[in-house]
Amino acid sequence: MAGDGEGLPTLGVEEEYFLVDPVTQRVRPAGDEVVAAAAAAGHGSTVTGEFTLYQVEGRTRPCTGLAELRADLAAVRRAAAEAARAAGVRLCASGTPVLGRAAPDAVGDHPRYRAGQAQYRGMIEDFGICAQHVHVHCSDREQAVLVGNHLRPWLPTLVALSANSPYHQGRSTGYASWRSVMRLRFPCLGPPPYAASLAEWERTARVIAAAEAMLDPAMPFWDVRPNPKLPTVEIRCMDVVAELDDAVALAALVRALVRVSVQAVRGGDPGPPVAAEEVRAAYWKAARDGVAGTGVDLRDGRVRTAGELAFQLLEHAREPLEEAGELGFVRARIAGIVGAAGAPAAGIPGRGGAEAQRLAAAGPDGLKGAVRWLVETTRRPGGEEAGEAGASPVTERLTDRRR
């Protein structure tokens, strides 16, 4: 897969998962029970609660090499899946609930969650979503803000590559990442503002908080931020993905992008001042079409295929990926997601999470089939474990498509 990561900045991954009933395939508010089961099994620091009781979060340790990250993330998923099973539910890596309503009528017992519910009111009625967050070591907060400037033009492509939420509460949305659309309605979520300094970034957060559109200016939820508690820059724009190796490849790609950006910042480049309206529009386009359509290249304003944008992103991050011995693995996974077999303009429809869910839902079981595929794939990372009765025909078809 890659080298051992020696000399590279550490990275870690947080994944959020839905909890679903094994019979109805609908989300079920069993978060407290799953967290308790995980703690009883010795995984209390690995599996924690989330915004709604329909969810839990899994966290890796800081890792250097991709083999280490993959093993750790597989262990996290396994621990969370076993705790879910002990609580009578199943683990599901999807950006939005496919069936059932993950609503804040069952909000986790945390002061911040309760404050958000009171502050945003009707906006938050159906706000149960799951993401993949990637942390890359960066102890300099000023540098982390400027890194965010460099990442802003590439964030829509990460949205498209990770898109894994075409269904929401029993209906097709027509979008590849409905989670991203749900987030864009909040003034405190989505792409970070362009800021020439940490002081400017903090001032923007204070103004938004003064308008009561952000809970805490010290803890903004923008898609790139210096983490308020850890010495990391945190990237938060991606849906949680079902395929373990896709999650690992996306994390490696993010780390490479951060390394390229750090080098540019050290050279005196504060990043391209792309207008916020342009970034949000590109987000929306990526969320609607995912890897099966086109997107906007924010460097020149041109429309390109999702495959072209993905491979341009890979080219931008090539040097650190090659240095780490990760380019071949990441390129193969990205090619599988965009369905281009390595050719950025092949015109083959995408095969990412959204397309996989749609293929599964086209079977005789409809949306229940999509949930079963998600549960099977989340439970069986990289084919390491068999499901309750082996892989379903849907899973086998999807696996064949990704080869």
Q: Sketch out the chain's domains with CATH numbers.
A: 11-402 (3.30.590.20)
Q: Which residue has the higher pLDDT, 7 or 10?
A: 10
| pLDDT over 90 at 126, yes or no | no
Nearest to 314 by CA among 303, 304, 329, 301: 329
The string of pLDDT tens digits covering residues 341-373 is 334 443 344 579 999 999 999 999 999 999 999
* Residue that has been written with the tokens 């210096």 in this structure: 226
- pLDDT confidence of residue 108: 56
Span 107-129, mean pLDDT? 71
Q: Would the pLDDT of 387 be above 50?
A: no
User: 398 or 283: whose pLDDT is higher?
Assistant: 283
pLDDT cut 90: percent of the chain above it: 76
Distance in angstroms (rounded) separating the CA atoms of residues 277 and 258: 23
CA 282 – CA 259 distance, rounded (Å): 23
pLDDT digits (tens, 9 = 90+) for 163-216: 999 999 999 999 999 999 999 988 888 999 999 999 999 999 999 989 888 877
215 backbone dihedrals φ, ψ, rounded to 5°: -70, -45
Segment 2-13 mean pLDDT:
78
- Which pLDDT tens digit goes with each residue over 94-110? 999 999 986 655 665 66
| Range name among 52-66, 113-127, 192-206 with the lowest pLDDT average | 113-127
Q: What is the pTM of this model?
A: 0.91
307-346 burial, b at 16+ Cβ within 10 Å, e below that, comes to bbbbbbbbebbeebbeebebbebbbebbbbbbbbeeebee
Mean pLDDT over 151-165 rounds to 98
Query: In the predicted model, what is the mean pLDDT of the chain?
Result: 89
Looking at residue 122, the DSSP 8-state letter turns out to be: G
Q: Give me the pLDDT at residue 253, please.
A: 98
Task: Give the separation between CA 188 and CA 120, rounded to whole angstroms.
Answer: 11
Please tell me the predicted confidence (pLDDT) of residue 386: 38
Q: What was the pLDDT predicted at 186?
A: 85
In 3D space, the residue among 156, 152, 174, 157 whose CA is nearest the CA of residue 165 turns out to be 174
Over residues 372-385, mean pLDDT: 79
Q: What is the pLDDT of residue 109?
A: 61
